[in-house]
Structures are given as structure tokens and as C-alpha cells.
Amino acid sequence: MEAPFFWLILYRMNQKLTKGEKLKSRKQIKHLFAKNKDIFVYPIKYIWTFSDKSQDFPVQVLISIPKKSFKRAVDRNKLKRLLREAYRNNKNIIYEAYDMSSKPILLGLIYVGKDILSFEEIDKSVKKALLKINDSL
């Protein structure tokens, strides 16, 4: 199902990270980890692939913070908030490169750093990686 052109304009203007933009389907998550391309920009590993099925949003994102690295839930939740905010602010980079005729993109952001970095460093990393992914599209 293809979204009309005016939806693409709304995606670009809308700065929210809506429920439909979050990757929650177990099948889609398995597909993301099975057939992926990856990019590493410290402290985040980015994995992405094209989706099998059509969706309402051109990009769906999964944010993961390993419990092995951050034992306290407070730290994991803080990092998730920082990553979501950085992605939300910079998602227009990948949306502009998206061609409506192509398949939707599944994107995973996995924090692999061992300590909590500042928002500015995380934001810079997300921006740099989304530009790299944008080039490979």
C-alpha cells in the first residue's frame, strides 16, 4: 500500500515519532536481524534492511540498549530517550532520500558504548549515520 504524496510532505514536516514509526512486529524484527546491512558510528551500531511487506510509514525504527552493558533500568531508559530524541530530530535526512516506489526501510539503533554520552555526541552520531545510510540508498 503506497502512501499518497501529501503524506510524504506531512512526514517531513511532522517532528513527532509516532506509534506507526516504531518497529514492534516480531516477524519484522527477525527479518531485520537476519538480512541486514550495518554501519557503525560510535557509540551506536545501525542495522537496516528493506521490509518484505508494505507499511504506512516509509521507515520503522527499533531502539535497543543491552541489559548486559547497563544493568540499571534508569540508565537504559535515559539512553533510550536520548536515542529517540536524536533520531526524531534527524529523521528527515532519511525521509528525504526515501523513494515512494521502493520498499519500506527497517532501521535498528543498538547502543554499544559502555558509558552514557551526552546528547550532543549521540545526536552527532545519529546524524552522521543517517547521512551514510542516505548515501547507500
| DSSP code string of 34-61 | HS-EEEEETTEEEEEEE-SS--SSSEEE
* Residue 62 vs residue 18, higher pLDDT: 62
Asked if residue 43 has a cis previous peptide bond (ω within 30° of 0), the answer is yes
Within a 10 A sphere around the Cβ of 7, how many other Cβ atoms?
15
The residue type at 42: Y
Domain 5-10+21-136 has CATH 3.30.230.10: yes
Query: pTM of this prediction?
Result: 0.85
Residue 7 has pLDDT above 70, yes or no: no
What are 71-128's pLDDT values in tens digits?
999 999 999 999 999 999 998 888 887 776 678 899 999 999 999 999 999 999 999 9
Radius of gyration for the alpha carbons in the chain, expressed in angstroms and rounded: 15
* Residue 100 vs residue 43, higher pLDDT: 43
The residue type at 111: Y
